[in-house]
Amino acid sequence: MSEQDDPNAPGQNVPAQRDDTGDLIATRRGMFGAAGGGDTSGYGGLVRTVRLPGASSRPYGGWFDEVADELEGALEEQGLVPATVIDKTVVDRDELTFHIEREYLPVVARTLRDDPALRFELCTGVSAVHFPDDKGRELHAVYHLRSLTHNRLIRVEVSAPDADPHIPSVVDVYPTNDWHEREAYDFFGLVFDGHPALTRIMMPDDWQGFPQRKDYPLGGIPVEYKGAQIPAPDQRRSYS
């Protein structure tokens, strides 16, 4: 192997990214999940960037523009600047996502629920996602809001850094989020400020740590199957 073919040199032997657009959230190196040992596979130099769909520009298409217009208009009526409230708007796979700055979440939720042109009456709860490599935005809280009046579904996404995992609670707007926010706290350590009783809901009250964060191990023991040792699930080969 000549020096030119050194797999560790940047830009060499790297498969082209299928798509260089979008927001970079992580960079993965190597393959097979091998870490801390010599690179015997020859794949150690692989670099893969993880990019989630980035901000879309208008027109968003369909009723998405109408909802975005109404939301921006309603925010302006309340004396807010939409550009500071809405971080970005993403249209991907026929779904509309508003990324909201976390301090404005309650006012946005109330607007989405109460504005007659929006009327997202039903919140389907909050789902948290942990992106440990997305610095400053490690923890995401994702809300899916359904409008029964207009028969629409949108997604509202809020992020918080690991160092300050606080997000305002929307329980006073959507009481249904009571348990959902407790669940997100239980599994991700997201603190929902203003929640009436933010306690663990699934795990025992004295549990240490937040199990669904990416740095929390799955656990498990190796098992024997037909004479061979099968490692625990989180120790098995992975294709990063």
Partner 1 sequence: MTPSPSPAEASAAPGPRETTEGAVYTVTGGDWDEIATAAAASDDERLIVNMGPQHPSTHGVLRLILEIDGETVTEARCGIGYLHTGIEKNLEYRTWTQGTTFVTRMDYLTPFFNETAYCLAVEKLLGITDQVPDRATVIRVMLMELNRLSSHLVAIATGGMELGATTIMIYGFRDRELVLDLYELITGLRMNHAYIRPGGLAQDLPPGAVDQVRAFVKKMRKNLPEYDKLASGNPVFKGRMEGIGHLDLAGCLATGATGPILRAAGLPHDLRKTQPYCGYETYDFEVPTADTCDAYGRFLIRLEEMRQSLRIVEQCLDRLEPGPVMVADKKIAWPAQLALGPDGLGNSLDHIKKIMGTSMEALIHHFKLVTEGFRVPPGQAYAAVESPKGELGVHAVSDGGTRPYRVHFRDPSFTNLQAMAAMCEGGQVADVIVAVASIDPVMGGVDR
Q: Is the Cβ of residue 104 or residue 210 nearer to partner 1 in the bound state?
A: 210
Using CB under 8 A as the binding rule, whether residue 199 contacts partner 1 is answered as no
Using CB under 8 A as the binding rule, whether residue 48 contacts partner 1 is answered as yes
At its nearest, how many Å lie between partner 1 and the CB of residue 57?
17
Selected binder of partner 1 within 82, 125, 161, 166 (CB under 8 A) = 125
The DSSP line for the chain is: --GGG-TTSTTSS-PPPS---SEEEEEEESSTT--SS---SS-TT-EEEEEE-----S---TTHHHHHHHHHHHHHHTT--HHHHEEEEEEETTEEEEEE-GGGHHHHHHHHHH-TTT---EEEEEEEEE-TTSTT--EEEEEEEEETTTTEEEEEEEEE-TTS-EEE--TTT-TTHHHHHHHHHHHH--EEET-TT---SSS-TT--S-TTSTTS------EEETTEEEPPGGGS----
At its nearest, how many Å lie between partner 1 and the CB of residue 144?
5
Residues 208-237 that bind partner 1 (CB under 8 A): 211-212, 218, 233-234, 236
Site string for partner 1, 88-107 (x = CB under 8 A): ----xx-x-x----------
Long-range pairs of 31-38 with CB within 8 A, sequence gap ≥ 24 = 31/239, 31/240, 32/237, 32/238, 32/239, 32/240, 33/236, 33/237, 33/238, 33/239, 33/240
CA distance 3 to 190: 48
Selected binder of partner 1 within 85, 91, 118, 123 (CB under 8 A) = 123
Choose the stretch contacting partner 1; rule: CB under 8 A; options: 37-45, 64-72, 158-166, 172-180: 172-180
At its nearest, how many Å lie between partner 1 and the CB of residue 23?
10
At its nearest, how many Å lie between partner 1 and the CB of residue 78?
23
62 token code pair: 């369909």
Selected binder of partner 1 within 122, 162, 166, 191 (CB under 8 A) = 122
Using CB under 8 A as the binding rule, whether residue 33 contacts partner 1 is answered as no
Q: Is the Cβ of residue 82 or residue 211 nearer to partner 1 in the bound state?
A: 211
At its nearest, how many Å lie between partner 1 and the CB of residue 12?
21
The residues that touch partner 1, with contacts defined as CB under 8 A, are 18, 22, 25-26, 48, 50-53, 92-93, 95, 97, 121-125, 127-130, 142, 144, 146, 148, 151, 153, 155, 174-180, 183, 187, 200-204, 211-212, 218, 233-234, 236, 238-240
